[in-house]
Amino acid sequence: MDEQGFLEYVQSGGQVETDDWMPDEYRQKLIKFIEMHANSELMGVLPEREWILRAPTLQRKLALTAKVQDEVGHAQLIYRVVEDLGKPREQCLADLISGTSKFHNVFHYPTRTWGDVGVIAWLVDAAAIISQKALLKCSYAPYARIMKKICWEESFHILHGRDVILTLMLGTDGQRELVQEALNRWWAPLMMFHGNPIPAENDPVVQWRIKTQGNEEARQQFLDGYVPQIWELGLTVPDPKLRRREDGVWEYTEPDWDELRSVVTGHGPMTAERLEFRRVTREETAWVRSVVLAEAA
């Protein structure tokens, strides 16, 4: 099979296994895309981890711990897919810490209150699920298969997030205020989450059928699914232009794409601190890895 034949094969829904022949460009695009996904799962636990000890009840502490374990597990599963494509996990972690590779914009922001924890688990996970569900049809089969398990685990995260939000909304005025403030902080990053609306024909990741959904399509799906859920709780979405047109398309204030670019290239409010945390824990746990490897040898 040549490159053109391969392209036609994946575009018509064909799937590829690890040992199949694939064009080098496809392999490189896969590695970059999947590695960023794994990085995001790993970095995504840090905003929530900060709240495990501060969570209001034992039940909440346990649930948050379980969610953190799930997300780290997702990172492990996804790094495995990258490893089989030829890039070792150690290299992925080194590139993450040095800032050579990227992770999702939403994980570069601070978690100020318990309201933020609820908004993250509910809406950030919801936005992520929309992207991940679209990966179930990815042309690279091992990635698509692992996504099935990940989506299954994610559904508990959204419920946990909604439960946190509903509990706060049933509480005092102060608690409702907490949720509204968190939503105000997270709305802009959420609107950037699915990326700028590049047309599918200009997006190589869509052309290779690594992703089967365009950025704007994903964002519309998010707005359609979740804005009504936000409104029904009496919360306000902090965008005066947001409205659903007659034809079903959502209009909104253009997100600040410069901010998105700057954040994902390592200039977010929490980027340096969180990468430093990863670097330090990696150093501190080096002895565990060497003991495990030495004992097993």
Task: Choose the stretch contacting Fe ion; rule: CB under 5 A; options: 20-28, 41-49, 88-96, 175-183.
Answer: 41-49
Choose among Fe ion, other proteins, none what residue 293 binds, the Cβ cut-off being 5 to 8 Å by kind.
Answer: other proteins
**Is 71 near Fe ion (CB under 5 A)?**
yes
Could you give the CA distance from residue 142 to residue 12 in angstroms, rounded to a whole number? 18
Q: What is the DSSP letter of 243?
A: E
Choose among Fe ion, other proteins, none what residue 192 binds, the Cβ cut-off being 5 to 8 Å by kind.
Answer: none
Out of 53, 58, 288, 293, the only residue in the binding site for other proteins (CB under 8 A) is: 293
Strands (E), 140-184: none
Segment 183 to 202, residues that bind other proteins, using CB under 8 A: none
Choose among Fe ion, other proteins, none what residue 125 binds, the Cβ cut-off being 5 to 8 Å by kind.
Answer: Fe ion
Tokens linked to 146: 């692992």
Choose among other proteins, Fe ion, none what residue 153 binds, the Cβ cut-off being 5 to 8 Å by kind.
Answer: other proteins
Choose among other proteins, Fe ion, none what residue 157 binds, the Cβ cut-off being 5 to 8 Å by kind.
Answer: Fe ion
| Dihedral Cα 204, 128, 135, 272, nearest 10 deg | 50
Q: Which of 4, 155, 12, 132 is nearest to 70 (CA)?
A: 155
Out of 1, 170, 249, 292, the only residue in the binding site for other proteins (CB under 8 A) is: 292
**Is 116 near Fe ion (CB under 5 A)?**
no
CB 163 within 8 A of CB 117: no
The amino acid occupying position 21 is W
Could you give the CA distance from residue 74 to residue 41 in angstroms, rounded to a whole number? 6
Map residues 83-112 to x or -, x wherever contact with other proteins holds by CB under 8 A.
xx----x-----------------------
Segment 160 to 179, residues that bind Fe ion, using CB under 5 A: none
**Is 166 near other proteins (CB under 8 A)?**
no
Q: What is the DSSP letter of 99?
A: T
Tokens linked to 98: 């040095």
Which residues contact residue 91 at a Cβ distance below 8 angstroms, ignoring those fewer than 6 apart? none
Out of 112, 149, 243, 267, the only residue in the binding site for other proteins (CB under 8 A) is: 149
Could you give the CA distance from residue 52 to residue 82 in angstroms, rounded to a whole number? 30
Q: Which is nearer to other proteins, 156 or 277 (CB)?
A: 156
Could you give the CA distance from residue 42 to residue 95 in angstroms, rounded to a whole number? 13
3-state secondary structure labels for all residues of 124-149: HHHHHHHHHHHHHHCCEHHHHHHHHH
Element (H, E) at 165: helix 141-169
Task: Give min distance, CB of 144 to other proteins, in A.
Answer: 12
Task: Choose the stretch contacting other proteins; rule: CB under 8 A; options: 76-84, 127-135, 206-214, 278-286.
Answer: 76-84
Could you give the CA distance from residue 257 to residue 70 in angstroms, rounded to a whole number? 30
Phi first, then psi, for residue 193 (nearest 5°) are -50, -45
Task: Give min distance, CB of 33 to Fe ion, in A.
Answer: 16
Number of chain positions touching Fe ion (CB under 5 A)? 6
Interface contacts to other proteins, rule CB under 8 A: 19, 73, 76-77, 80, 83-84, 89, 145-146, 149, 152-153, 292-293, 295-297
Interface contacts to Fe ion, rule CB under 5 A: 41, 71, 74, 125, 154, 157
